[in-house]
Amino acid sequence: MSLPASNAPSGPVLFFDGECGLCNRIVRLLLRLDRRAVLRFAPLQGPTAQAYLRAHGLPTADFDSLVFVPDWARRDRPEFLLRTDGALAAARAVGGLGRALSWARVIPARWRDAAYRLVARYRYQIWGEWTPRPLARAEWATRFMP
């Protein structure tokens, strides 16, 4: 199966729940931290993420996780990270403060992912559904894939 072309021919891509208030706030934080503009984003509900998920046998209706693809140019290979491993890899990819946050890798993944699943379960009750609003910088729009 061929995946859709995009405006991000290489580099890391983060698939996130495009309807989640917390998830969208985190994406906007990553945009601010990513001064080198290396990270790209796509909602899990969108055609790019859906094609990737299907191509790699991942659930297409589970939006409680995120998927980090380290190099979009090699997207046909099954190389991806889920949940906290993906979140920490995304933080590390943006550098700066993000790299400092990635120290949490020292915590066992089982514990990190348990906390992640707990937050995922209640994220809509706490942060609500995302209401689309303009990005702080117009150039950030080019970093999003459909």
pLDDT higher than 70, residue 2: no
Could you give the percent of the chain with pLDDT greater than 70? 94
Phi, psi of 82 (to 5 degrees): -115, 160
- The pLDDT assigned to 48 comes to 96
Domain ranges of the chain: 13-133
Q: Look over the chain and give the mean of its residue pLDDT values, rounded to a whole number.
A: 89
Longest CA–CA span in the chain (Å) reads: 38
Burial string for 3-29 (b: 16+ CB within 10 Å, else e) reads beebebeebbbbbbbbbbbbbbebbee
Mean pLDDT of 32-54: 96
pLDDT tier for residue 104 given thresholds of 50, 70 and 90: confident
Mean pLDDT, range 110-127, rounded to an integer: 92
pLDDT at 9 (0 to 100): 60
Global pTM reads 0.88
